[in-house]
Amino acid sequence: MIKHFIKSLLVAAVLIGQLNLTSAQQHKDAVHIEQLRTAPKDKIWVIAHRGDWRHAPENSIQAIKNCIAMGVDMVEIDVQLTKDGHAVLMHDKKIDRTTTGKGEVKDWTLDSLQQLRLRDGLGVPTPHRIPTLEEALTVCKDKILINIDKGFDFLAVCLEVAQKTHTLDQVILKSGKPYAEVRAQLGEAFEKVHFMPIVNLGKPDAMEILESHLANYKPIAIEFTVPDEKAPAVAQFVNYRAQGINVWVNSLWPPHNDGHDDERAALDPSVYDWYPAHQVNMIQTDRPQLLIDYLKGRK
């Protein structure tokens, strides 16, 4: 009887621990969502581009799980649509680079795609398979925010999956299109989602596109491409932050950030100083652990 009693206590302790962990995760996610809306001055976001693709295939469930374990704030994923209308995680329209198959996603059914295996960054086949958007959002629920890229042409499917998985408040959608086009495509759903305009400061119509959005609503964030840090709009980042708008810049490759990129930061992490110095508080990176370590060192 004593053994049974001790066993019951151990089981209860494990269950309580799991409940506490779940509660803590939900609280963390609720805090993230509130910070997304309020853009606090002391919060710098780490966004992992295609997940932790250096240690798992890009856009894989494992790449997402690694980000959650690492403490990443948000994971960026890419979505394509299968022949039979399922949203799956895939950056390219073709599956040749990242899987053991060939051809375009739109020419494959979900069942046939899931017979394939994902390749790692070196092109080596792995045990991982192509996940559906539903599987990915289920893993992310109450644990990490999600930025859906490459999915604007089939937003209705993405929104349906987000609603089904109860993750709509964790998802950020984005597009480089003017407000009128975005609003026409999203319709009433625009009021229910977190939407972020993309503004490439290297293009002549950049500010026109941005103003079309700012004239109609306050976005939760603006994603800027900054090929030249001397662009007049960069000096306005501080004003956007003062209005409670998050400022997002990618640290991925030099044309995104005028040379303040991840590979330079891998040699000298102080390269990342450029971002907070220019009022950038959302950084999408290919080196999430490096950026996390850098931010910890600043505190």
Q: Token match 């800027």: residue?
A: 224
Beta bridge mates, 48: 75, 285
Task: Dump pLDDT digits (tens) for 194-212.
Answer: 999 999 999 999 999 999 9
Work out the pLDDT band at 140, boundaries 50, 70, 90.
very high
Q: What's the rounded mean pLDDT across residues 100-114? A: 98
Residue 282 CA to residue 83 CA, distance in Å, equals 35
Q: What per-residue confidence (pLDDT) applies to 10?
A: 55
Are the C-beta atoms of 258 and 229 separated by less than 8 Å? yes
Lowest mean pLDDT among 32-46, 206-220, 225-239, 247-261: 32-46
> Could you tell me the domains of the chain?
39-78+140-298 (3.20.20.190)
Work out the pLDDT band at 33, boundaries 50, 70, 90.
confident
Q: Locate 249 and state its tokens.
A: 């810049």
Task: Dump pLDDT digits (tens) for 276-287.
Answer: 999 999 999 999
Stated pTM of the model: 0.89
